[in-house]
Structure 1
Amino acid sequence: MLSNGSEYEVYTLLNGNLQSQHPEYKGRVHMKPDLLRMGRAELEISNVKISDSGSYRCLIKMGGADYKQATLSVKAPYKIKTHVKELHKNADHKDAELSCESEGYPPVQVLWRDGNDQDLSKKASSKHSVTADQLFHISSLLIVNASSNNTYHCIFWNETMEETYNASLRIPAMLRPYLNEENEVHINEDDGKGSAVAGGGSFKWKNPPVPDPGIDVG
Structure 2
Amino acid sequence: MAVFPNSCLPGCLLIFILLQLPKLDSARFDVIGPLEPILAMVGEDAELPCRLSPNVSAEGMELRWFREKVSPAVFVSREGREQEGEEMAEYRGRVSLVEDHIAEGSVAVRLQEVKASDDGEYRCFFRQDENYEEAIVHLKVAALGSGPHISMEVQDSGEIQLECTSVGWYPEPQVQWRTHKGEEFPSMSESRNPDEEGLFTVRASVIIRDTSMKNVSCCIRNLLLGQEKEVEISIP
TM-score grouping bracket, smaller chain normalisation: 0.5 to 0.7
Q: Which residue of 2 aligns with 1:75?
A: 142
Contact kept in structure 1, 2:150 and 2:218, CA below 8 Å: no
Question: How far did residue 162 of structure 1 move?
Answer: 4.9
Q: Compared with structure 1, are the counterparts of its residues 96 and 69 closer, same or farther at alpha carbon in structure 2 (3 Å cutoff)? A: closer
Q: Which letter does structure 2 place at the counterpart of 1:142?
A: V
Unaligned runs of 5+ in 1: 177-218
* Letter aligned with residue 165 of structure 1: E
Partner of 1:116: 181
Per the alignment, do residues 49 and 95 of structure 1 end up closer, same or farther by CA in structure 2, a change over 3 Å counting?
same
Name stretches of at least 5 consecutive residues in structure 2 with no aligned partner. Answer: 1-65
Q: What TM-score comes out, normalization by structure 2 length?
A: 0.58
Q: What is the TM-score when the length of structure 1 is the normalising length?
A: 0.62
Q: How does 1:130-149 map to 2 (within 5 A)?
A: 130-144=194-208
Does the C-alpha gap of structure 1 residues 132 and 154 become closer, same or farther in structure 2, counting only changes over 3 Å?
A: same
Residue of structure 2 in register with 1:58 after alignment: 124
Distance 1:149 1:139 in 2: 22
- Looking at structure 2, the residues matched to 116 and 168 of structure 1 have their Cα atoms a distance apart, in angstroms, of 14
Matches within 5 A, 1:8-19: 8=71, 9-19=73-83
Residue 50 of structure 1 and its aligned partner are, at CA, apart by 1.7
Distance in 1 (CA, whole Å) between partners of 2:213 and 2:113 is: 44
Cα distance in 1 between the residues matched to 2:184 and 2:138: 37
Counterpart in 2 of 1:152? Answer: 216
Matches within 5 A, 1:1-218: 2=67, 8=71, 9-20=73-84, 21-37=87-103, 39-63=105-129, 64-87=131-154, 89=156, 95=160, 97-122=162-187, 124-144=188-208, 150-157=214-221, 161-171=224-234, 176=236
Cα distance in 2 between the residues matched to 1:45 and 1:126? 34
**Is contact 2:153-2:160 (8 Å) kept?**
yes
Q: For each residue in 1:57-85, what CA deviation from the matched residue of structure 2 results, as whole angstroms up to 9, or x when unmatched?
A: 22222243233321111122233321343
Alignment RMSD: 3.1
